[in-house]
Amino acid sequence: DGSRNLSLDSIPMGLPMSDPTAWATAMNNLGMAPMGMTGQPLLPDFDPALGMMTGIPPINPMMPGLGIVPPPIPPDMPAVKEIIHCKSCTLFPPNPHLPPPATRERPPGCKTVFVGGLPENGTEQIIMEVFEQCGEVIAIRKSKKNFCHIRFAEEFMVDKALYLSGYRIRLGSSTDKKDTGRLHVDFAQARDDLYEWECKQRMLAREERHRRRLEEERFRPPSPPPVVHYSDHECSIVAEKLKDDTKFSEAVQTLLTWIERGEVNRRTANNFYSMIQSANSHIRRLVNEKATHEKEMEEAKEKFKLALSGILVQFEQIVAVYHSASKQKAWDHFTKAQRKNISVWCKQAEEIRNIHNDELMGIRREEEMEMSDEEIENPAEMKETEESALVSQVEALKEENDSLRWQLDAYRNEVELLKQEQGKASRDEDTTKEQQLKLLQQALQGMQQHLLKVQDEYKKREAELEKVREDKLKIETLLENLKEQESSTSRICACSQEKECPAEKILSNTPVKSEREALLVGIISTFLHVHPFGASIEYICSYLQRLDSKICTTEVEVLMTRLQHTFKQELSGVGASLEKRWKFCGFDELKMT
């Protein structure tokens, strides 16, 4: 609206279009990098996609005036907007004292701006001329109502276009209202921008998933190597590995896989048995290794105990130093601050010493408990444990004997089958059959020898078991004799006590056994004498519990039933109101006597 009052004198038209200082200031305000004397841009983060304004020749570094280009404006200082001259129009900055133009919330991936306040005579060429300095323009959609939508190639170009919001535009040197306007640039929401932004986000999500997958694969543990198939050669290799401690786990895994696959048959049974036997022999090595580790642990415990005892000795010495320093001879020569420090140090040293002493005593207490648990066991229990161990060994030997017999029967059956197959087979196979028979015979001989050894051990164990039983019988007879002696001594003591304390025996036969019961009898008698028609046991107990809360109903009822000549129980009432009542009858009994 104020463009009508503008005159030619007020418009700074005397400034040439190629003045380098004005253009450097305008470009600096627009975010475009001014050039120094060396030809290098003064702003290292200048975007090369920003081209020069149309109609302006390229700036030569040697042109006059470029040596005094002002430095770039820091971001915390307000930017001073300058007049921008274009080929077909001129842009005048808004009043710097006015607030910045309002904008809507920026849509995600926004590349399109809304431009309002265009002159009525403005064309797409003029709009392109003004806004192509902000970046590459992809499309312009102009409306007949003095506004348009401009879509840029990148998102950062929209921020540069927003810089022109609030500028007054004038076409040429005309002052006509149709040739002037005030630009309003704001964010615009477009479907294409949103679609491209969503595509970009999906691409970033795919890249992130791919990166995470690569990270997971990188940190994933490698899969175990495949297990080879069974063969005689591989069997011999695995058998050798089973004897080596370093390769035992790998060989055992291979053996387990072969057995689960079903590689065991009549031909390979001996090989598998030898490998299982090797695995069994590895148990001894493991037990020995465990024993060595336990021994090392015990040695470490001893070292720790010795070191702890040495530390305690030193703590005792330090505490003794503190105590000697706190005596009257030396204590008077210290200042108050020194005395305070010495007392604090003494308390701290005593606390630490007590903690270490408790720890050492706990260790010793645990050792004593272990030793006492071992010593407390009676010899009879030791005999029982030995007997049970021998019985379990005998049962294990019986089971082993049965298993050996079954194996012998199986071998005999195999020998008979081989003999039958030997008559049917050809002469070429006779040699192999004979070798198998020899192997089976050798195995039978070995099994028989082992069986004989087991039988001998079985007989020895039975003899030891009989000896243990005889010892047990002797111990039982000794225990019975001791019990009889104890019973006889107890009888003698009882007789002497009966002679010495006849009065106590007489008192024990009385119904009232203690002074407390006598007090209860007196209180109950007084209470029932006051109630001539009797009272229930609950009523009596409620009265007694006021005196002593520990009295219970059963105790009172037992005491009253015991004294039949003093208390009697009667039933009163009819039907549902039937009730048991206790009455005092001591005076009646006295009259009768």
Q: What is the 3-state secondary structure (H, E, C) of 13-25?
A: CCCCCCCHHHHHH
Angstrom distances, CA of residue 162 to CA of 30, 80, 169, 439, 562: 10, 15, 15, 100, 112
Q: Which pLDDT value is given to residue 167?
A: 92
How many residues are there in the chain? 593
Helix (H, G, I), strand (E, B) or coil at 571: strand
> Per-residue pLDDT for 30 more than 80?
no
Q: Which of 150, 111, 144 is nearest to 128 (CA)?
A: 150
Q: Which pLDDT value is given to residue 494?
A: 62
DSSP bridge pairs for 570: 581
> Per-residue pLDDT for 39 more than 60?
no
Token pair listed for 16: 């040439």
> Per-residue pLDDT for 71 more than 80?
no
At residue 74 the predicted structure's pLDDT band, cuts being 50, 70 and 90, is low
CA gap 287, 282 in Å, rounded: 9
514 CB-near residues (< 8 Å, 6+ apart): none
At residue 425 the predicted structure's pLDDT band, cuts being 50, 70 and 90, is low
- Whether 303 is covered by a domain: the verdict is no
Domain of residue 541 covers 515-584
> Per-residue pLDDT for 92 more than 50?
yes
Token pair listed for 538: 């609950």
Residues 105 and 181 in one domain: yes
Among residues 144, 175, 199, the one where a domain terminates is: 199
At residue 428 the predicted structure's pLDDT band, cuts being 50, 70 and 90, is low
Token pair listed for 457: 């051990």
CA gap 556, 534 in Å, rounded: 15
CA gap 246, 265 in Å, rounded: 29
Q: Report whether 475 contacts 397 (CB < 8 A).
A: no
Residue predicted with more confidence, 503 or 38 = 503
At residue 157 the predicted structure's pLDDT band, cuts being 50, 70 and 90, is very high
Residues 134 and 187 in one domain: yes
Angstrom distances, CA of residue 201 to CA of 105, 111, 193, 204: 20, 15, 12, 5
Token pair listed for 70: 């002002």
> Per-residue pLDDT for 567 more than 50?
yes
> Per-residue pLDDT for 55 more than 50?
no
Rounded percentage of the chain residues whose pLDDT exceeds 90: 17
Residues 187 and 249 in one domain: no
Q: Which pLDDT value is given to residue 212?
A: 94
Helix (H, G, I), strand (E, B) or coil at 149: strand
Q: Mean pLDDT, to the nearest integer, of 563-571?
A: 84
CA gap 239, 467 in Å, rounded: 44
Residues 92 and 194 in one domain: yes
Q: Mean pLDDT, to the nearest integer, of 170-187?
A: 88
For the ranges 38-42, 195-199, 397-401, 437-441, the lowest mean pLDDT is seen at: 38-42
Helix (H, G, I), strand (E, B) or coil at 582: strand
166: left (phi over 0), alpha (psi -120 to 50) or beta: left
Token pair listed for 391: 């019985």
Summarize pLDDT for 390-417 with one digit per residue, the tens.
777 777 787 778 778 877 877 787 787 7
Most confident range, picked from 205-209, 396-400, 529-533: 205-209
Residues 284 and 322 in one domain: no
> Per-residue pLDDT for 245 more than 80?
yes
At residue 77 the predicted structure's pLDDT band, cuts being 50, 70 and 90, is low
CA gap 245, 238 in Å, rounded: 12
CA gap 312, 356 in Å, rounded: 7
> Per-residue pLDDT for 293 more than 70?
yes
Q: Give pairs for 94-100: CB < 8 Å, separation 24+.
A: 94/166, 94/167, 94/168, 98/166, 100/166
Q: Which pLDDT value is given to residue 309?
A: 86
Q: Which pLDDT value is given to residue 213?
A: 93
> Per-residue pLDDT for 105 more than 60?
yes
Angle at 235 between CA 230 and CA 237, to 5 degrees: 125
Q: Mean pLDDT, to the nearest integer, of 369-396?
A: 66
Residues 114 and 194 in one domain: yes
Helix (H, G, I), strand (E, B) or coil at 62: coil
DSSP bridge pairs for 171: 89
351 CB-near residues (< 8 Å, 6+ apart): none
Among residues 268, 294, 320, the one where a domain terminates is: 294
Summarize pLDDT for 304-358 with one digit per residue, the tens.
888 888 888 888 889 888 888 888 788 888 888 888 888 899 889 888 888 888 8
- Whether 227 is covered by a domain: the verdict is no
> Per-residue pLDDT for 41 more than 90?
no
- Say what the pTM is: 0.31
Summarize pLDDT for 477-527 with one digit per residue, the tens.
888 888 888 777 777 766 555 555 554 444 455 677 788 888 888 888 888
In the chain the first and final C-alpha atoms are separated, in Å, by: 141
Residues 174 and 104 in one domain: yes
> Per-residue pLDDT for 69 more than 80?
no
Token pair listed for 430: 């006779």
Token pair listed for 164: 């022109």
Helix (H, G, I), strand (E, B) or coil at 57: coil
- Whether 414 is covered by a domain: the verdict is no
- Whether 443 is covered by a domain: the verdict is no
Residues 279 and 361 in one domain: no
Residues 543 and 575 in one domain: yes
Residues 263 and 341 in one domain: no
- Whether 108 is covered by a domain: the verdict is yes
> Per-residue pLDDT for 376 more than 60?
no
> Per-residue pLDDT for 198 more than 90?
yes
At residue 140 the predicted structure's pLDDT band, cuts being 50, 70 and 90, is very high
Q: Report whether 27 contacts 46 (CB < 8 A).
A: no
Token pair listed for 90: 């001129």
357 CB-near residues (< 8 Å, 6+ apart): 312
Q: H or E stretch including 210?
A: helix 191-219
Token pair listed for 459: 């007989």
Taking residue 529's Cβ as centre, other Cβ atoms within 10 Å add up to 12
Supply the CATH number for residue 569's domain.
1.10.10.10
Q: Report whether 22 contacts 28 (CB < 8 A).
A: no
- Whether 572 is covered by a domain: the verdict is yes
Residues 288 and 318 in one domain: no
Q: Which of 352, 345, 353, 351 is nearest to 326 (CA)?
A: 345
Taking residue 284's Cβ as centre, other Cβ atoms within 10 Å add up to 9
Q: How many domains does the chain have?
A: 4
CA gap 127, 88 in Å, rounded: 10
CA gap 165, 110 in Å, rounded: 17
Average pLDDT, the chain: 78
Residue type, 174: S
- Whether 388 is covered by a domain: the verdict is no
Residues 187 and 238 in one domain: no
362 CB-near residues (< 8 Å, 6+ apart): none
Q: Which pLDDT value is given to residue 14?
A: 36
Angstrom distances, CA of residue 131 to CA of 111, 144, 174: 13, 19, 21
- Whether 219 is covered by a domain: the verdict is no
Measure CA 395 to chain center.
47
Q: Which pLDDT value is given to residue 518?
A: 86
> Per-residue pLDDT for 584 more than 90?
no
User: Which residue is listed with tokens 């039949």?
Assistant: 564
